[in-house]
């Protein structure tokens, strides 16, 4: 996982925002579903 993706996920955990845009993080796979926050409603991965 890219450094940017880690930073965005960490910030999301702090703010508990319901949206998380990982579209420009260069991900090649999805993060483990068991670690997804309960408050996250929309995740953008384009």
State the pLDDT at residue 34.
47
- CB contact at 8 A, 39 and 16: yes
Query: Which letter, b or e, does each residue of 26-39 get, where b requires 16 or more Cβ atoms within 10 Å of its Cβ?
Result: eeeeeeeeeeeeee
State the pLDDT at residue 22.
86
Q: What is the pLDDT of residues 1-46, one digit of tens each?
A: 789 988 998 998 899 988 888 888 888 877 665 466 777 776 666 6
State the pLDDT at residue 37.
72
State the pLDDT at residue 28.
80
CA distance 36 to 9: 9
State the pLDDT at residue 35.
64
**pTM to 2 decimal places:** 0.72
Domains in the chain: boundaries: 3-44
């Amino acid at each position: 996982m890219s450094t940017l993706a880690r930073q965005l996920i960490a910030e999301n955990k702090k703010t508990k925002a319901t949206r998380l845009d990982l579209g420009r993080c260069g991900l090649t796979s999805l993060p483990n579903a068991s670690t997804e926050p309960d408050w996250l409603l929309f995740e953008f991965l384009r």
